[in-house]
Structure 1
Amino acid sequence: MYACSVTHHRLDLDGLDVFYRAAGPQDAPVVLLPHGYPCSSYEFRSYMPLLADRWRLLAPDFPGCGYSATPEDFVYDFDGYAEFLERFANRLGIERFALYLHDFGSQIGLRLAIAQPQRIAALILQNGDIYEDELGPKYAALQRFFANPTPQARAGLADGVSLEGFEEEFLNEVEPEIAMRIPPDLWHLHWALMTPRRRKITVNVIAGLKENLAWFPRYQAYLREHQPPTLIIWGPRDGYMPEGSARAYLCDLPNAELHLFEDGGHWLLETHLDEVARLSRDFLERVHDHR
């Protein structure tokens, strides 16, 4: 499979210091890659060069994440992140793009899609939840907090924002032989970047997921109305987003392509990279390629 280098950049976005990764020709069709939790653009480091012969791939670190700044005046919620993603695309002169949607990057990207549906060429959906009735058992602790958000319960959320908590997030529910493919760099790197202020922001974002649940019907309505070309690639060994979370998309996107990696979990780009890249290439060549 073709591969080219990823380059690393800093951008002054109206006073906000933004780090992002890029790969591919400037004039190629664009794939925008908003990252999930507890990660950064680092999650796309190996995927990007495998598509960069035909597409321009752009992966920013959200404010308060990765190597981007953590400004005082940024609104650290899903609306704030979606607005940031729009500003980032505008600054780079990107009018139309495909979105790779993973983890909470799914909801952030879909908020941008709802606001500006004409800009969305295609979606690649990978373990991103928007169907409340299909949430997995690992959501139980969060749902208890939503029902009774006491200070003690909030302290329990904060306990999860730790090196051990990050390791659990990255390993999730996969079997040991698959877990061996997931590098410990993921949790050690991202924990090393977690300052006390970032930790407080992260707990607030997690607590704010209750409000995000109210957006789920809006995400679904966007998909039903606009029917963007969609590839669904999913690891069902995911305690937050099991197989049912993937299949639920077909209710609103009956023409979507669904591929399940039965032994895969939440971090397919670590455990099943080549297969995901091949499926992505085939899909994007059909729906998002001008060459």
Structure 2
Amino acid sequence: MPSTFPVRHLHLDLDGVDVFYRSAGPTDAPVVLLPHGYPCSSYEFRNYMARLGDRWHLVAPDFPGCGYSATPDTFAYDFDGYADFLDRFTQRLGIARFALYLHDFGSQIGLRLAIAQPERIAALIVQNGDIYEDTLGPKYAGLQQFFANPTQAARDELAQAVSLDGFEEEFLNEVGPDMALRIPPDLWHLHWALMTPRRRQIAVDVIAGLKDNLAWFPRYQAYLREHQPPTLIAWGPRDGYMPEASARAYLRDLPNAELHLFNDGGHWLLETHLEEMVALNRGFLGRVHTVA
């Protein structure tokens, strides 16, 4: 049996906002920061954290408006707002430097923090996080149509995807039947149960805001080219949003990055390929991130 280590479930008052986060490992160990994706929360990292808590301090917050964190009226629910939250959250915990796990929309949020404070980034782990517009998968077609013609009717159609069925589709994505059996329905039922009318509105706004985020893609790429952080790219190509080409595109700017493809995997590798991902991440972090 693989060794597991306790995961702590904590709350923090951050500038008057109740923030829930998960933590594992010694607090004086090198830090791995884990910003989550959509439509998820820190729950996506629960098993991963439990496997690496012997050598690293792993920290995964729920963004405001997500998971078990509060949904304040005054928070800026956009990529800049979330990046600022990550900055304030890590500063509050006294975390100066960290490896950054980039997944889903957490990729763009994390990279905005990296652009602003590159000296804090020890390494990157990139797992199905898109920053190259020319390699976007076919599932982006509907979004791109909305970006081109953002009418209220189109927005209403977009909102229909923020639903229990829509969440199930997001989690299953394009994986085959065997891999789908490894993805627990807890993922979509838990996260849908935590939705409120306000959170649903926020989710639609964030999805609509992806258009503005596309303009940041060249900035993310420029950061990678300039700073060349040690990078592991671990990717599931069975992803209608981010196919294999989206992973290989990173090598344009990070020619020395390590690329590993899980050919039968999709967007949620920590559900379907946990042990392989843990072994791969453990080896990478052991080479590049061993000093706090």
Can you list the C-alpha shifts for 1:236-261, whole angstroms capped at 9, x where unaligned? Answer: 00000000000000000000000000
Can you list the C-alpha shifts for 1:184-207, whole angstroms capped at 9, x where unaligned? Answer: 000000000010000001100000
Can you list the C-alpha shifts for 1:107-160, whole angstroms capped at 9, x where unaligned? Answer: 000000000000000000000000000000000000000000010100011000
Report the AA paired with residue 152 of structure 1: A
Counterpart of 2:235?
234
- Whether the aligned pair in 2 keeps the contact of 1:23 and 1:48 (CA below 8 Å) is yes
Counterpart of 1:277?
278
- Whether the aligned pair in 2 keeps the contact of 1:51 and 1:277 (CA below 8 Å) is yes
SS of the residue 2:9 aligns to: strand
Counterpart of 2:80?
79
SS of the residue 1:3 aligns to: coil
Task: Please say which of residues 37-46 and 2-11 is displaced more in the overlay.
Answer: 2-11
Counterpart of 1:249?
250
CA root-mean-square deviation: 0.7
- The question of 1:200 aligning with 2:201 is answered yes
Counterpart of 1:93?
94
SS of the residue 1:27 aligns to: coil
Counterpart of 1:144?
145
Counterpart of 2:135?
134
User: Identity of aligned pairs, percent?
Assistant: 80
How does the TM-score come out when normalised to structure 1? 0.99
Counterpart of 1:160?
161
How does the TM-score come out when normalised to structure 2? 0.99
CA distance, structure 2, for counterparts of residue 107 and residue 42 of structure 1: 19
CA distance, structure 1, for counterparts of residue 120 and residue 95 of structure 2: 9
Q: CA deviation at 1:32?
A: 0.2
Report the AA paired with residue 77 of structure 2: Y
Counterpart of 2:65?
64
SS of the residue 1:47 aligns to: helix
User: Mind listing any 5+ residue stretches in structure 1 that lack a counterpart?
Assistant: none
CA distance, structure 1, for counterparts of residue 118 and residue 170 of structure 2: 32
- Whether the aligned pair in 2 keeps the contact of 1:2 and 1:53 (CA below 8 Å) is no
Can you list the C-alpha shifts for 1:202-232, whole angstroms capped at 9, x where unaligned? Answer: 1000000000000000000000000000000
Q: CA deviation at 1:290?
A: 2.8
CA distance, structure 1, for counterparts of residue 130 and residue 253 of structure 2: 14
SS of the residue 1:46 aligns to: helix
